[in-house]
Structure 1
Amino acid sequence: MALDTILLLALIGVIAGMLSGLVGVGGGIVMVPLLIYLLGFNQHQAQGTSLTVLVVPVTAAAVYNYYKEGYIDWRYAAIIALFFVVGGYFGSKMAISIDQKMLKKIFAVVLLFVAGKMLFSKA
């Protein structure tokens, strides 16, 4: 692997990690677009790689900081995690059967919807 590729991967990791710790995003919202535009991944490769990064406890240090301040509801997190596994399994089965161009459009619409909802909400 070339040094410039390693540096780009490190940059993606730092950006995704910082935004994950700062505002709770990092996987799909940050890593997927960066893998596509900086490293030329297709949508399926970017999504698969982003999910693979999250298999190991990459956010453990950030979770610890939030835990120390009392900002984690472990019961809610456990239920979400359990069903995240179920949803992730079925979602990935659907994604790999969708054409990359369509998948990219679906991804973009999801990002726009979430951004719009957050931007224009009153809370």
Structure 2
Amino acid sequence: MHALVIDDSRTVRAIIGKTLRDEGFAVSEAGDGRAGLAALARTPDVGLILVDWNMPVMDGLEFITAVRADRSYDGVRVVMVTTETEQAQVARAMAAGADEYVMKPFTRDILVAKLSLLGVLGE
């Protein structure tokens, strides 16, 4: 499966990308939501997106809203990975169409557990 990691932090993209590659994913990266939409359009086999909330240009919530407005991405799993820890923010992300929510800082085990809950490991 192909995964897209969208975060304005190169370090966070590298950490998530390594974990995903270790789990057998092909990985593409983008530094903001707008670049993420462009990367998604260029990579039709993306099945998983991990997106940060707080980014310049287009934030993660706007990105999720845009992806969920396009029915061709209905099968794509989206995980919000963010420092936003308030329950109201979690609820907003889930209402916008996130399938799962990971709070920063996170460990490799937490990320893998969330991906396992989504049923995307081993595909």
TM-score by length of 1: 0.29
Quick check: which one's strand share is greater?
A: 2
Structure number with higher relative contact order (C-alpha < 8 Å, ≥ 6 residues apart): 2
Q: Which has the larger radius of gyration?
A: 1
Quick check: which one's helix share is greater?
A: 1
